[in-house]
Amino acid sequence: MTDQASTGLGLVQTQSLELGAEPLVLDSGVSFGPITVAYETYGTLSETRDNAILICHGLSGGAHAAGRLEGQEKPGWWDCMIGPGKAFDTDRYFVVSPNVLGSCYGTTGPASIDPQTGKPYALRFPVITVRDMVEVQRRLLDHLGIRKILCVAGGSMGGMLALQWAVAYPERVRSVVAIASTHQHSPQQIAFNEVARQAIMADPAWAQGDYYGTEGPRLGLAVARMVGHITYLSDSGMSRKFGRRLRDRERYGYDFSLDFEVESYLRHQGQSFVGRFDANSLLYLTKALDYFDLASGHESLTEAFQPSRALFLLIAFSSDWLYPPQQLKEVARAIRRSGGDATYYEISSDYGHDAFLLDYAKQTPLVASLLERARADFGEIDPGESEVGDAASGP
């Protein structure tokens, strides 16, 4: 459904920021630094700084959310939602889209050079959590002079970051859009991630993570991605897309080459991922998802949301079985129990989990009207704004 030819933003650039010398104390207690953050911005920050939107990507996404990069054909991963006149309207809002800590698209991750050894961190990279990713984003926003965010939005893993923002920095978040996401990974979600990790680690070319400078665990990473792709599509969507069509009837029944179109699709997805993603990043990011539990450190999920006065928009898709609607429904209930303002929508779709990237027509009016409400009653810019700066510490 995405019209890839219609990006209204034209050429964009990815920027890079070195966070200050002060190391980040991670959730695990480890002090870590230095950290570089890759990010893009679209639109203009208003004088009163009341129009900033933070976009959080999913597992394999990056800072390049919209527009086109020089020399690249493909627009950013959420170009259908971000741009002039779109859901996140860049004529009105200032959109910031950073790459998360631990990823491999410009922000510090396991493939980055460890200044202490001059070699990539590999498994010497510390274990990170969704809270750590939010903390890095918080420092970026401080640097950009943005104290209070009009909206923090994302799908899948990005939705977890958005929810985590509201819980970690209630005074800095006016509204939240969390799509196809959850407050906590279930055992089945952990199990799928564990199989993906095992597929990578079973590949001898993984070499305990020290594969940089070699081809790396190409086969294992491809299998890991194939597992992921099954969970991104719905059964009915797959049936519509592939049915039981044989790819090449002549070959039916004689070897283990491709028979069904769905096999060809999966292998293609696996192989194309290998060229664009770092296997160790997949290990670290999936672990961060598995650890994710919004209620952790609170008595309950309801209590976690208590301090927030944000407007929440929660969107689930009927055929998403990776993050079934039930999970965001539970989030909506917890927010309401805490006295908060939650709008929950279940969009009927057979795109499965992938719907958050595709079904922009149904999501656009929901997001646009939330942003109207949020901006109409943005509230005061917290006096803490004067403290803004790279060294500012969070509450």
Least distance in angstroms from the C-beta of 347 to a second copy? 21
Residues whose CB falls within 8 Å of the CB of residue 55, separated by 6 or more in sequence, listed in order: 65, 78, 82, 88, 95, 96, 97, 153, 154, 158
Indicate which single residue of 24, 35, 167, 283 sits in contact with a second copy (rule: CB under 8 A). Answer: 283
Binding of a second copy at residue 59 (CB under 8 A)? no
Q: What share of the chain is helix, strand, coil (3-state, %, to 5)?
A: 40, 15, 45
Indicate which single residue of 47, 255, 299, 380 sits in contact with a second copy (rule: CB under 8 A). Answer: 255
Least distance in angstroms from the C-beta of 235 to a second copy? 4
Per-residue b/e over 9-32, b at no fewer than 16 CB within 10 Å? beebebeebebbeeebebbeeeeb
Binding of a second copy at residue 222 (CB under 8 A)? yes
Tokens for 79? 């170009």
Indicate which single residue of 290, 320, 354, 359 sits in contact with a second copy (rule: CB under 8 A). Answer: 290
Q: What is the dihedral of CA 105, 126, 303, 141, to 10 degrees?
A: -40
Binding of a second copy at residue 188 (CB under 8 A)? yes
Tokens for 143? 């640097």
Least distance in angstroms from the C-beta of 335 to a second copy? 21
Binding of a second copy at residue 262 (CB under 8 A)? yes
Indicate which single residue of 34, 241, 368, 373 sits in contact with a second copy (rule: CB under 8 A). Answer: 241
Binding of a second copy at residue 254 (CB under 8 A)? yes
Binding of a second copy at residue 289 (CB under 8 A)? no
Indicate which single residue of 90, 129, 182, 308 sits in contact with a second copy (rule: CB under 8 A). Answer: 129
CA pair distance 74, 164, nearest whole angstrom: 30
Indicate which single residue of 187, 213, 275, 383 sits in contact with a second copy (rule: CB under 8 A). Answer: 187
Question: Which residue, 7 or 327, has its beta carbon nearer to a second copy?
Answer: 327
Residues identified as active-site: 156, 320, 353
Binding of a second copy at residue 244 (CB under 8 A)? yes
Least distance in angstroms from the C-beta of 145 to a second copy? 33
Contact range with a second copy by CB under 8 A, out of 65-73, 285-293, 301-309, 329-337: 285-293
Binding of a second copy at residue 242 (CB under 8 A)? yes
Least distance in angstroms from the C-beta of 238 to a second copy? 4
Three-class SS of residue 82?
Answer: strand
Question: Which residue, 88 or 323, has its beta carbon nearer to a second copy?
Answer: 323
Strands, E, within 13-70: which ranges? 15-18, 24-25, 31-32, 36-42, 52-56, 68-69
* In contact, 378 and 174? CB cutoff 8 Å: yes
**Count of C-beta atoms within a 10 Å radius of residue 75:** 25
Binding of a second copy at residue 194 (CB under 8 A)? yes
Question: Which residue, 174 or 185, has its beta carbon nearer to a second copy?
Answer: 185
Binding of a second copy at residue 220 (CB under 8 A)? yes
Least distance in angstroms from the C-beta of 63 to a second copy? 26
Binding of a second copy at residue 350 (CB under 8 A)? no
Pairing of strands 24-25, 94-98: unpaired
Indicate which single residue of 45, 123, 381, 388 sits in contact with a second copy (rule: CB under 8 A). Answer: 123
Three-class SS of residue 61?
Answer: coil
Residue type, 177: V
* In contact, 178 and 314? CB cutoff 8 Å: yes
Indicate which single residue of 50, 259, 278, 354 sits in contact with a second copy (rule: CB under 8 A). Answer: 259
The CA distances from residue 203 to 112, 228, 259, 274, in Å, are 22, 17, 25, 13
Per-residue b/e over 56-71, b at no fewer than 16 CB within 10 Å? bbbbbbbbbbbbbeee
Q: Which of 125, 84, 89, 90 is nearest to 107 (CA)?
A: 125
Binding of a second copy at residue 318 (CB under 8 A)? no
The residue count for binding a second copy (CB under 8 A) is: 57
Number of residues that make up the chain:
395
Residues that bind a second copy (CB under 8 A): 27-28, 123, 127, 129, 184-188, 190-192, 194-195, 197-199, 201-204, 219-220, 222-223, 226-227, 229-230, 233, 235, 238-239, 241-244, 252-256, 259-260, 262-263, 266-267, 270, 283, 287, 290-291, 293, 321, 324
